[in-house]
Amino acid sequence: MPELADLEAKLTFLNERLPGLRIDDVQLPIAFIVRMPKDEFVEAMKGNVFGQTSRRGKFLLFRLESGHVLAVNSMLAGRMQWCLPSDKRAHRTCVIMSLSDGHELRYVDFRLMGRIYLVKEGDLDTIPQFAELGPDAASPELTESVFVERLKHYSGQIKNVLTNQRFIAGIGNAYSDEILFAARINPFRKRATLSEEEMGALYRAMRDVFAWAFPIVREAMQDDIPLEEVRYFMRVHRRGGEPCPNCGNRITDITSGGRVMSYCRHCQV
């Protein structure tokens, strides 16, 4: 699943290439991903010109010269691709936009769970889930005090709270593992058992993890947007059975609800 570091790197990549490019053609091999009639979407997009791309949580927001915003919610397996027309199409390529510089911008979704919306700038809150998003995890306005105060209003296991997009937007399964490891907090801990200092440590760990991860992910996307998320550098996520980089004990992987949760039983209490 794309998370904040992945999306920030993609954002940088796309903003170095897309602004000013005209959309010469649009194909929808799997049209239901786009949440409007196919003909209306093609008519609105053809001839339009890309402006800057931004992000809110896990939504990529492509601004267009017409005043529309193309909002992409990739969900678990959606991926953007920057391709040449001659490049082989990936399985389940859903949207293909031919651009005036000769490239194609494609959307691929192996699970067909993602959704794409085209709305006017002022209508973003009409997109399902968008209005419910909490503050973005990368926002400068999300200070430690704001984070802690928001956290106090949530209950349940702390990993589930961290990945709740209503709490803060942009953190998913992989980075919640890394943040909890950096904060030395067990993912099964109930939020209510965390002290004020532990909640502050969680905030600082979040900031540190993304500051560490983003340059690595960006380096991997200098020339391309890979279909697989960049995860090779992670310290605990999907490292089950390997030695913990802190204490040397084995990292534990637990599969629950279709996702793998990773942590160190010794370091994270």
Q: What is the pTM of this model?
A: 0.93
Note whether 214 and 138 are within 8 A (CB): no
> Stretch 17-42: mean pLDDT, rounded?
97
Per the annotation, the verdict on 2 as an active-site residue is yes
Token pair, residue 33, equals: 């991903």
What local confidence, expressed as pLDDT, does residue 222 receive?
86
Per the annotation, the verdict on 22 as an active-site residue is no
Mean residue pLDDT across the chain: 95
φ, ψ for residue 31, nearest 5 deg: -75, -25
Note whether 203 and 147 are within 8 A (CB): yes
Per-residue pLDDT of 92-129, as tens digits, reads: 999 999 999 999 999 999 999 999 999 999 999 999 99
What local confidence, expressed as pLDDT, does residue 23 receive?
98
Per the annotation, the verdict on 184 as an active-site residue is no
Note whether 124 and 68 are within 8 A (CB): no
Among residues 58, 115, 235, 239, which one is catalytic?
58
What local confidence, expressed as pLDDT, does residue 112 receive?
94
What local confidence, expressed as pLDDT, does residue 26 receive?
98
Per-residue pLDDT of 48-106, as tens digits, reads: 999 999 999 999 999 999 999 999 999 988 999 999 999 999 999 999 999 999 999 99
What local confidence, expressed as pLDDT, does residue 259 receive?
85
Among residues 35, 204, 231, 259, which one is catalytic?
259
Among residues 3, 8, 104, 178, which one is catalytic?
3
Is residue 17 predicted with pLDDT exceeding 90?
yes
DSSP state of 134: -
Per the annotation, the verdict on 37 as an active-site residue is no
Q: pLDDT category, 186, cuts 50, 70, 90?
A: very high
Report the percent of the chain where pLDDT is more than 70. Answer: 100
Per-residue pLDDT of 143-176, as tens digits, reads: 999 999 999 999 999 999 999 999 999 999 999 9
φ, ψ for residue 25, nearest 5 deg: -155, 155
The CA distance from 195 to 15, in Å, is 41
> Stretch 13-35: mean pLDDT, rounded?
97
Per-residue pLDDT of 195-249, as tens digits, reads: 999 999 999 999 999 999 999 999 999 888 988 899 999 999 999 999 999 999 9
Domains detected in the chain: 4-126 (3.20.190.10), 144-263 (1.10.8.50)
Distances in Å between the Cα of 62 and the Cα atoms of 10, 32, 162, 171 are: 12, 19, 26, 21
The CA distance from 261 to 258, in Å, is 10
